[in-house]
Amino acid sequence: MISPFTQYKQWMIERYGDALFRVPVEIASSCPHGRCSFCSENGSRAQQTQRQESLVEQIEAAIKFSKRRYKAQKLMLYIQAFTADLTDPAQQKLIFQCLEPTASGHSVFPQRAGNIKFEAISIGTRPDCLPEAALRFLEALKEKVEVWVELGVQTANDETLKRINRGHDWACSKKAILDLAECGIHVAPHVIIGLPNEVSKDWNRTAEELATLPIAGIKIHNLHIIKGTELAKNPPSVLNHWEYAEALMDFLRRIPADIPVMRISTDTPDEDLVAPHWHLEKGQFLDYVIQQMEMREVRQGDLCGSGIPAAGQRLEASSTLPVITDDGSITFFSEDWKEHYHTKSGARLEAQKKFVEPSGLGLKLKTSNLKLLDVCFGLGNNSLAAFCAAAGAKHRLDVTALEMDKRVVRAASEFFQCLETDPVDWRKVLRGLLTSNQSAIGNRASGELGSANTGQRSGNHQLAIRWGDARWLIQGLESESFDIVFHDPFSSQHCPELWTVEFFQQLYRVMKLDGVLLTYSSSLPVRGAMREAGFLIGETKPGHQMGNGTIAAKRPQDLNFPIIGSFDERRGIPYRDPHLCGTSKTILRQRQEALEAN
């Protein structure tokens, strides 16, 4: 499967025949400018070499680390910590000595003579540390080895550069990139997303400016506030992992697709970190970003005209061949979750019998407007069934849908089988959601079809969709704002993330006092999670060879079904996700451990 952005490791394999593992060395011991407000005392020195003093020790330690941990075969020398003075003859000599034997044929590192060959060198420096003499040195270095410069640009916003005491402006960064490229040096700008007072328009402008320049790679990470820095004295707010992921994806869409993305996150030792404190490992965050980009059909460069059209990848990413269910309506099979979206007994029948009818939606619309939250929209059968029940109603139904996978909505817009009795043209509604995230819903009888006109209410009702992980989206919804909640994720065995105590607590929060929640599941761990979140629960019985479902409410008078009393506490041990970001494997494992301990 094609990655939604150009990952550096795969790019290196294609270019060099293998990944190049970095051997970081410290040439400089300070920065010629001073310290930026975010910079720590060690100047981002590599963890694996912080206890070594000499170049020999640094190189040996880094090589041993790379070979032991990564089984490295090819290496890149990395001048990282602080900012080297590339005009200083002493530092120039050290860099050459790190790369090659002396004139006598013996390396300055005799214990590794003949055993080490660096395929490339990468030097971290600042835009204002590249005078003519430095450029001439880099040109000379290029005769020996491929040269990269990782340039600390940080942002294209001059106000921010002043605020963080950067010591140069954007014009200086732009000139440095152009000068280096003119010399045949590969330039990889370093950018920080979430700098103080910056918002999306600021970091997106940085991406757009860089996209016009001859860059060969890019390094990105979110702002870290480190102890002992100026920022730590009065820490600004920082992005959590969801916010940073959204910002990062938007940023990548503005970077040409052929530019390798060398980094999307960074490490700071816990003992030095003030903020942010995430609950995801780097690999988990990478997986999350890839998943979100694939499912939302966005790719690196697609906003600057260089990305692979996302829609062109959708058949590779997810099975979209319709499966006919027993009532004649269609569903799809998800390769990601290894389940069908609906019961084989009938996709539309399930929506009617497990969600709409037990919710009492049609009756409630006779007396008041309703707001419905549709969690895991999928093909939209549950929302469509709600609008069918609302046909002709004097009061308005507003639906907010949460969905992560744009591909299934697109497939449904192509294959969905509308009925003559449907009050709306559902395919048209789905196409509207894909383009504008919103559709007005009217009645066929009155000549008002589903419309994609955002902000214009041409029908009686309204449907809006929000794309992304429901665990993140729900945290942005207003408390006590929904009369009805339809909860329809894949099963708890395959998607436990949306069946946890913590997620049901969020559903409880956004539901009105007299609201109800409906789900197809009758699983005891699910009911246990609902009960711990504060819900009263009852059992729905749809019949039609479908298993029973569950209704939940805050008050007994709103349940309309007999309250379920006690059940097997051990079997009802719920799924848990304390930080609402755990992986399915972690959540399943933790429940299994709780079962074994009980």
81-105 per-position pLDDT tens digit: 677 789 999 889 989 888 864 333 4
What is the average pLDDT across 472-482?
A: 98
Q: Find residue 552's DSSP bridge partners.
A: 517, 537
Is 225:252 a contact under the CB 8 Å cutoff? no
**pTM (2 d.p.):** 0.91
CATH number of residue 156's parent domain:
3.20.20.70
Confidence (pLDDT) at 29: 67
73-83 confidence digits (pLDDT tens): 899 999 986 77
- Which comes out higher in pLDDT, residue 31 or 311? 31
Reported as a single tens digit per residue, the pLDDT across 493-534 is 999 999 999 999 999 999 999 999 999 999 999 999 999 999
If asked whether residues 305 and 244 sit together in one domain, one would say yes
Of 208 and 103, more confident: 208
Question: Which residue, of 267, 286, 312, is where some domain finishes?
Answer: 312
If one counts every other C-beta atom within 10 angstroms of the C-beta of residue 33, the result is 16
Question: Is a pLDDT exceeding 90 seen at residue 444?
Answer: no
- End-to-end CA distance of the chain: give it in Å, rounded: 42
Shared domain check, 164 and 232: yes
Give pLDDT, residue 117.
82
Structural domain ending residue among the three candidates 289, 312, 335: 312
Distance in angstroms (rounded) separating the CA atoms of residues 484 and 509: 12
- Asked whether the predicted pLDDT for residue 555 surpasses 70, the reply is yes
Instruction: Note whether 267 and 392 are same-domain residues.
Output: no
Contact 527, 537 (CB under 8 A): yes
Which CATH number goes with the domain that contains 558? Answer: 3.40.50.150
Structural domain containing residue 551 = 348-406+461-594
Residues 391 and 283 in one domain: no
Q: Is pLDDT at 299 greater than 90 in this prediction?
A: yes
Mean pLDDT across the stretch 369-379?
A: 98
Does the residue 501 lie in any domain? yes
Element (H, E) at 386: helix 381-389
Mean pLDDT value across residues 160-170: 96
How far apart, in whole angstroms, are the C-alpha atoms of residue 380 and residue 344? 16
Span 128-144, average pLDDT: 95
Across all residues in the chain, what is the average pLDDT?
A: 90
Name the pairing type of β-strands 461-467 and 397-403: parallel
Same domain, 513 and 558: yes
Stretch 44-72: mean pLDDT: 72
The pLDDT of residue 167: 93
Same domain, 262 and 366: no
Q: Please identify, among 264, 285, 312, the residue that sits at the C-terminal boundary of a domain.
A: 312
Structure tokens that stand for 196 in this block: 């103080």
- Give the whole-angstrom CA distance, residue 485 versus residue 504: 11
Does residue 155 belong to any structural domain of this protein?
Answer: yes
pLDDT above 60: residue 314? no
Sequence-ordered list of residues with C-beta below 8 angstroms from that of 53, at least 6 positions apart, any chain = none
Instruction: Answer yes or no: do 240 and 147 share one domain.
Output: yes
Which tokens sit at 75?
A: 């290496």
Distance, CA of 338 to CA of 207 (rounded, Å): 37
Q: Is the pLDDT of residue 150 over 90?
A: yes
Flag whether pLDDT at 317 surpasses 80. Answer: no
Neighbours of 246 (CB within 10 A): 16
Q: State how many domains the chain has.
A: 2
State whether 361 and 480 are in the same domain: yes
Does the pLDDT value for residue 311 go beyond 50?
Answer: no
Say yes or no: 226 and 365 in one domain: no
Instruction: Mark whether 302 and 356 lie in a shared domain.
Output: no
Query: 3 pLDDT exceeds 50?
Result: yes
**Percentages helix, strand, coil for the chain, rounded to the nearest 5?**
35, 20, 45
Q: Do the domain assignments include residue 381?
A: yes
pLDDT at 114: 44
CB count within 10 Å of CB 4 equals: 29
Residue 550's closest CA among 293, 367, 355, 392?
355
Asked if 269 and 382 sit in the same domain, the reply is no
Mean pLDDT of 482-490: 98
**Does 290 reside within a domain?**
yes
Can you give the pLDDT at residue 131? Answer: 96
363 shares a domain with 237: no
Which residues are within 8 A (CB) of 527 and not within 5 positions of it... i.e. 6 or more apart? Answer: 537, 550, 564, 567, 572
* Residue 433 maps to a domain: no
* Residue 562: inside a domain: yes
Render pLDDT for 169-179 as a digit per residue (tens, 0 to 9).
Answer: 999 999 999 99
Q: Is residue 251 part of a domain?
A: yes
Tell whether 430 is covered by a domain.
no
Amino acid symbol at 289: V
